[in-house]
Amino acid sequence: MSSPTTRRNSCRGVASGSRASSECHPRRRGSSCSYFSPGAQTEDFSVSLSQPIFTITLRFLLAIDLWLSKRLGVCACEGSAWGSIRPLVRLVEFSGHVIPWLIGAVYTLVRGESMVEQEIMLNLTLALILDLLLVRAVKNLVRRRRPAQNRSDILSAFFVERYSFPSGHASRAAMCARFFLAQLVDTASMRVVVVGWATLVSLSRLLLARHYVTDVGFGLAMGYCQYSLVERLWVTWACLQDLMLMRLRESLDRAYSGLWMVDWKH
């Protein structure tokens, strides 16, 4: 037989336990749904507003960049929306690669019939080398990864670079287009062809999901400004001949001084 005191204590323990359990259940339910509770949403929103306006704007623009780049990547693979025209888009992409441009510029430089043509091809070769070095430097500095839907093919595994920002094809297309418009093209129809080619090369990088929209935009601006630098540092044949004669004269002076010292010792 239990005493009345023991019964009261046991009843109090059961009551307190039931209260504790009744208090714990709402807490668990609240903790599991805290992400969807109004208080939690207000707290997250206040944290985002407490950030600097520059950070909020940058994140908003990057979100738009990611969304728009994903929407434009309609030729990323054969199963994409426009996967049937992927080979044609890749052909346009290859027309803006640096290797065929360098081979063509050097070949025309060597086989040029006039000095004016050789001078133009010489500066085009130097401009392509400058573009390659500047794009590589910016890519190694930023180190932005390519879009997730980018698919590497057999040829692209050798020609596509690792990083994404900025687009080398876009910068090369803008620089070469402005170079041709200023130096070689003098008719309206050819101007339309050159501008259309540069536009298609830049657009192919987005259709194949090789780059983001900001990569292509910055690449176009970078290539446009590069020609201004090439035009300012334009190398003429007279300047090149003077530089080569100066180097040759210095080499001959060193050789003559070396021979004179040898004869003096003997």
Residue 21 within any structural domain of the chain: no
Annotated active-site residue 266? The verdict is no
| Residue 135 near residue 168, CB atoms below 8 Å | yes
Is 31 within the bounds of a domain?
A: no
| Residue 195, H or E segment | helix 188-207
Structural domain contains residue 14: no
Q: Low-confidence residues of the chain, pLDDT below 50?
A: 1-47, 157, 265
Identify the pLDDT of residue 188: 92
Residue 211 is a catalytic residue: yes
Parent domain of 159: 66-234
Q: Is residue 27 part of a domain?
A: no
pLDDT tens by residue, 61-82: 888 988 888 888 888 877 777 8
> What per-residue confidence (pLDDT) applies to 242?
62
25, 97, 169, 266: which is the annotated catalytic residue? 169
| pLDDT for 240 | 66
Whether the CB-CB separation of 213 and 68 falls below 8 Å is answered with yes
Strand (E) or helix (H) holding 8: helix 4-32
152 assigned to some structural domain? yes
Residue 22 confidence (pLDDT): 43
* Number of domains the chain is built from: 1
* pLDDT for res 110: 86
Residue at 76 is within a domain: yes
Catalytic residue among 25, 97, 211, 266: 211
CA distance 81 to 74: 5
pLDDT at 151: 67
DSSP 114: S
Q: Answer yes or no: is 202 within a domain.
A: yes
One-letter amino acid for residue 57 of the chain: T
Q: What is the pLDDT of residue 128?
A: 95
Q: Is residue 265 a part of any domain in this protein?
A: no
